[in-house]
Structure 1
């Protein structure tokens, strides 16, 4: 017999069933969100879109690429803002990105390092590591010592193109995997995935069923949402979970919307996964873990290190891409593919008396046409003690970086790094938008309100 904890959800997946016990005491608002989304059948046939064997798997995005999803309040808001009869006729759900309540505040119990290193931990995700962007997505750890604690507690993360960030990642508790009798997590550790982490054979959450709901009061508009999504209550007595009838304490399961994949899904459909699409074993499979590394031969050790390094690199690239996409959605970048100019240096720790002309004269030895701009307080005009220096060629920029870092300027040791600011690019996009030329890659009403990201950041060296 299943022992019901404080609250729990049954995930029916391609490979079998997982039971999740949610952390109602530590993260009540996050737990209620996922519970009500499950009740609205938001997870029906959604993909496990990112699987990193030996680390974790990510799910809960109807779009299937990690950029979609919303909170239950954003979903209700989106359906209330449209003519649902028209939407049903088009077989397309409303656009949740237009809702002001799309995301939840990041309020919940933050997981400790020891908890993150456990297998079967269910974690609420901030999209792209941007605060207060928790929606429907979540992840489940697939093994112990999965590396998440290193990302959450201060270790620097190297992103795409070798650029470093010291921003730690925040992970909030959603609960734990209470039952995995069919070894689903072990099977996910053997998934065969592409370079983006998506399995070559589609693995889906076929249904997410509410086993126990301690939140008796639904959000306002929930009934209309269920009707709009085609969710109806099954009044028959044939509902079962395993061999157990849904009796007292087990509400009758609503019938799910009937579709093979969510209407929002924007990725190509692949073959359905089964046991034949998995590796028989994998270098990171928990059944093949190296219990005593001292007994490894050199070839085995090298293989293990190569696998770990590849996984880390793939995760870093995906994290950097996810952050860029999220910043584009929030209006902080004109395009997720945009790159900072390679001919601009970021200079900081300047003396307040140093002027633009002083810097241009100093950097003229590398490029006679170098242009310097010291950033100043917009109200009083005082120097903020950092600047950007633009060169005509990348070669002169690289030479200046190598020779001017830690140089003495006006009795101050300055720091020089490659700029990661896209402020000038933003200005170009905004100017094009105001003039009616949107070919530059941005077509958003909030373009004029965008802002550039200033500051320096390391380039892979």
Structure 2
């Protein structure tokens, strides 16, 4: 039988000892059901000792059992008094020997003079607190959320052990309840959880759990900028986890330009010649379709210096190239920083593997152009074309003409030349 406490510092899942402490567990579960603990504060946090909650007044003197709460909130005119406390169920087999032990705070009853339990409980923040055995009644253990307990343990408190910044139970979810409801419980159960802390206006709160004193004097636009940076960092971490980024703090290179709206006939050599007047170009790649070899009409140009890339960015915007006005921007791609192609990360294939040489820029349907493949002097006579054709040796290779007419030739003539050359070799 379990209960989930959603606190301002994280979630806590508590398993209850319903067999050993049935009355205590019933009291706790039914108080949770009527939203008694919602928006309650941890009013007593002692480092490496305990964190105490369950008092609506956050003073350490309030709280009552579920049976007393039903009686005090019902419209019944009966005069029979219902005790505020009930006798603690202290068993010898349940001890305060582990961090995360949940125990009812046992205090002397002002009505009868005997010890009793009401609604206040605490969670131990240390191991081996056996000196609490026999004094307070253990009824559960934290099974999930020990990291939340560490956060609670590290908060700053005043001399009364009240956290300087509120820690509140935002919501309580009953995961399993084996007990039937006591008479009158449904009549006093609120239709919705409370939206106002029960101790509001008491003067105990120093800093609200939803307040940040470090940003009170920061302008709104600066706060918005910080929120955007935090959101961007979170998104980058997610992309790193799924493999889209090599690491979360990676930044796009400042010396690489992205050029789009190109004419389909524009080649790598054309762009490099045009942009080389701004500085030394390390690489210039027109991205092509893997299957057809057609230009996808965008390219990446890497300069040796960032200043050269900036100058080209300002000078080449909307410039006419091959009857097309190109668009120039700084590249936002980080694929160059990765040691593996993005589409091979999912397979775990290194870049040097033969199976990993398909794809470019994270896409299966793209391929690097011949000029920027690995150069091997022993294989200079191979075609190295961008479409899917078998690589064979050719007897002769006439140099490619670089005039304007060559750029306007269609791809079909090159394919026919290749087929004719292949048939000649077979004969």
The structure having more radius of gyration, on CA atoms, is: 2
Q: Could you say which structure has the greater relative contact order, defined with CA pairs below 8 angstroms and 6 or more residues apart?
A: 1
